[in-house]
């Protein structure tokens, strides 16, 4: 039975409030966004309070610590590859309503998750027209962001994130072309949510670098793997130095930096992720007997005598995967290293009530607690993102106000 919460402060009766504002805020910030949206109708004081930047920040901080979730994007068929679900801390899988307008596009990709906002790339049937949608699934606000080079013939690498220094969310598009060579950067544009406009920026350090599509945001910067391209003009040969560096983009200052890779050694796969709001690299290694996973965390400090500004710390090592033939790390979630076996599906014998399952292994980076979970499978493949519910606004653009034709 749903409980009814009576208003603590009635309009026009603030002097006779039952509870002080600080206690009321402490209660309200613990509630889900759906309830808070309903409570905006209680009185004018609540409506104004729930829209203040300070309350939105308090609610986000509490939600990030108490209710972080894993967001799954399920890949199905070419005609319908978009379905979302949330895995909460209680290991309950919840379906998420689709973003607006995705039915008008043949392909949908999430390129960023930051403070409850998602950045989606929408691709048309001919794979040439691209559009970006910023979306808050909790408040159901969405904003269409037209791309200035929608007919670009090449590769677009997209980043999305927030900088507390300038209090702004930004989208970065790195345009790369193939000119008889591997894709190399030839233009970069930045979109600011505060100004709602694009601008072209310099990308000097990216000369001769090919950028990966995988991106994460941590501590006010976006990060990609960078491939150093060695070019031999005489022999027309191009060689990749696999993951030669990490490309960093400072969201506040809009400056690119190349960061050296950690001394990982040989491994089967490296994954960019975030650990305690710092960039981290997960890698899996193996012998004939077992797999293990390592995590390296990036720290920044004043340059030492050698001039080095960045330092990698080997933070985590786990050999909990003994007996598993092949395990891949995917993401860090509430200090847990989330991995999956290959293939990631349970056998027919392990299916429950005929439903196909996805297996995940969680190993805690601090306590080393190890557990295996199985969740319902909605598609042939999946991508995982960290997500936290929030009241963060993207301009008060409601779903029904968006023109499907843009």
Q: What's the start-to-end Cα distance of the chain, in Å?
A: 43
Contacts of 279 (CB under 8 A, 6+ apart): 216, 218, 219, 221, 223, 246, 248, 272, 297, 298
Rounded Cα distance between 310 and 301, Å, is 7
Q: Which region, left, alpha or beta, applies to residue 167 given φ > 0 means left and ψ of -120 to 50 means alpha?
A: left
Residue 37: half-sphere exposure toward Cβ, Cα within 13 Å:
14
Cα angle value 252/386/224 (rounded, 5°): 50
Domain regions of the chain by residue span: 1-51, 265-380
Q: Per this entry, what is the length of the chain?
A: 406
Rounded Cα distance between 93 and 362, Å, is 16
Rounded Cα distance between 62 and 33, Å, is 12
Phi and psi for 305 in degrees, rounded to 5?
-60, -30
Task: Specify whether the CB–CB gap between 360 and 338 falls below 8 A.
Answer: yes
Please report, for the chain, how many H helices and E strands are present, in that order. 4, 24
Cα angle value 311/162/51 (rounded, 5°): 145
E-only strand ranges, 106-220: 107-114, 117-123, 130-136, 141-146, 155-163, 168-177, 184-192, 197-201, 209-218
What pLDDT was estimated at residue 297? 94
Rounded Cα distance between 213 and 111, Å, is 9
Phi and psi for 149 in degrees, rounded to 5?
-115, 60
79: tokens are: 């005609």
Rounded Cα distance between 187 and 201, Å, is 8
Contacts of 345 (CB under 8 A, 6+ apart): 356, 357, 358, 359, 377
- Cα dihedral 252, 258, 260, 262, rounded to 10, equals 40
Task: Specify whether the CB–CB gap between 110 and 82 falls below 8 A.
Answer: no
E-only strand ranges, 202-286: 209-218, 221-232, 237-250, 255-260, 269-275, 278-286
Rounded Cα distance between 189 and 174, Å, is 7
Task: Specify whether the CB–CB gap between 280 and 332 falls below 8 A.
Answer: yes
Task: Specify whether the CB–CB gap between 145 and 134 falls below 8 A.
Answer: yes
Which alpha helices (H) appear in 265-366, and where do they start and end?
Answer: none
Contacts of 354 (CB under 8 A, 6+ apart): none
What pLDDT was estimated at residue 250? 96
What pLDDT tens digit does each residue of the chain (406 aa) get?
444 444 544 444 555 556 777 888 888 889 889 888 888 887 888 888 888 899 899 999 998 888 899 999 887 655 455 788 999 988 888 888 877 777 667 778 889 999 999 999 887 766 556 789 999 999 989 998 988 876 666 778 899 999 999 999 999 999 887 665 667 777 899 999 999 999 999 988 888 788 887 899 999 999 999 887 655 544 444 444 456 789 999 999 999 999 998 888 777 788 999 999 999 999 887 776 667 888 999 998 765 555 577 889 988 877 666 556 677 889 999 899 998 887 655 544 345 555 778 889 898 888 888 888 888 888 777 889 999 999 999 875 444 344 443 3
How large is the greatest C-alpha to C-alpha distance in the chain, in angstroms? 84
What pLDDT was estimated at residue 166? 94
What pLDDT was estimated at residue 8? 47
Q: Which residue, 224, 107, 240, is CA-closest to 172?
A: 224
What pLDDT was estimated at residue 185? 76
């Amino acid at each position: 039975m749903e409980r009814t919460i009576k208003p603590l402060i009635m309009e026009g009766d603030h002097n006779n409030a039952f509870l002080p504002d600080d206690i009321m805020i402490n209660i309200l910030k613990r509630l889900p966004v759906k309830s808070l949206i309903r409570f905006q109708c209680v009185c004018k004081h609540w409506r104004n309070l729930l829209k203040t930047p300070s309350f939105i920040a308090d609610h986000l901080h509490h939600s990030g610590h108490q209710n972080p979730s894993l967001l799954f994007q399920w890949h199905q068929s070419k005609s319908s590859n978009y379905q979302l679900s949330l895995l909460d801390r209680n290991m309950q899988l919840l379906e998420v309503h689709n973003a607006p307008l995705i039915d008008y596009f043949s392909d949908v990709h999430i390129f960023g998750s930051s403070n409850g906002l998602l950045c989606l790339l929408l691709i048309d049937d001919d794979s040439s027209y691209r559009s970006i949608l910023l979306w808050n699934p909790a408040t159901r606000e969405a904003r269409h962001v037209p791309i200035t080079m929608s007919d670009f013939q090449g590769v677009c690498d997209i980043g999305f994130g927030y900088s507390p220094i300038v209090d702004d969310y930004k989208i970065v598009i790195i345009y790369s072309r193939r000119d008889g060579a591997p894709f190399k950067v030839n233009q970069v544009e930045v979109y600011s949510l505060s100004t709602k406009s694009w601008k072209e920026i310099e990308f000097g350090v990216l000369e001769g670098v090919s950028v990966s599509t995988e991106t994460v945001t941590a501590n006010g910067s976006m990060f990609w793997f960078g491939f150093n391209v060695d070019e031999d003009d005489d022999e027309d040969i191009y060689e990749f130095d696999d993951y030669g560096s990490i490309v960093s983009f400072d969201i506040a200052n809009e400056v690119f930096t190349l960061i050296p890779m950690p001394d990982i050694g040989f491994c089967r796969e490296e994954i960019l992720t975030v650990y305690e709001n710092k960039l981290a690299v997960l890698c899996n290694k193996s012998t004939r007997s077992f797999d293990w996973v390592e995590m390296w965390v990036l720290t920044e400090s004043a340059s030492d005598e050698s001039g080095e500004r960045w330092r990698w710390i080997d933070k985590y090592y786990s050999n909990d995967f003994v007996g598993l033939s092949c395990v891949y790390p995917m993401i860090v979630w509430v200090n847990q290293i989330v991995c999956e076996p290959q293939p990631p599906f349970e056998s027919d014998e392990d299916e429950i009530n005929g439903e196909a399952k996805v297996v995940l292994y969680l190993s805690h980076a601090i306590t080393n607690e190890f557990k295996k979970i199985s969740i319902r499978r909605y598609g042939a493949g999946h991508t995982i993102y960290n997500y936290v519910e929030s009241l963060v606004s993207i301009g008060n653009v409601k779903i029904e106000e968006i023109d499907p034709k843009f």
